[in-house]
Structure 1
């Protein structure tokens, strides 16, 4: 798995987890969904993603989007 796929998988997990938590636990968890969406939009324009920095330090090889 390269860095791009790891970031996409993590973003998908965060969105699904926050939707489940918002539905079953507390609606304030939907703010995490909004945060994930805003972070994905800014990463598309700037190329900066905090999750990519963490995954890179964990040794996941680079992809094409996040170098």
Structure 2
């Protein structure tokens, strides 16, 4: 369940930042880059902040 939530939140952030970049300002693409970098970092280190937060909230695997 946690993996699905993490992927859904990442997808929502990416799609939202793309929409904001298209309609408001291209600077919102920095949010897309940040999310992508965080996904890459978590694939290497196997640590994700949202995963830690979900653990503290009691979300099961």
Give the TM-score normalised by structure 2.
0.91
RMSD between superposed Cα atoms in Å: 0.9
Q: Where in structure 1 are there 5+ consecutive unaligned residues?
A: 63-67
Q: Distance in 2 between matches of 1:14 and 1:56?
A: 20
Flag the structure with higher helix content: 2
> Displacement of 1:35 after TM fit?
0.3
Q: Where in structure 2 are there 5+ consecutive unaligned residues?
A: none
Provide the residue aligned with 1:18 in structure 2.
17
Give the TM-score normalised by structure 1.
0.84
1:42 aligns with 2:47: no
Q: Hey, which bits of structure 1, 4+ residues long, moved more than 6 A?
A: none
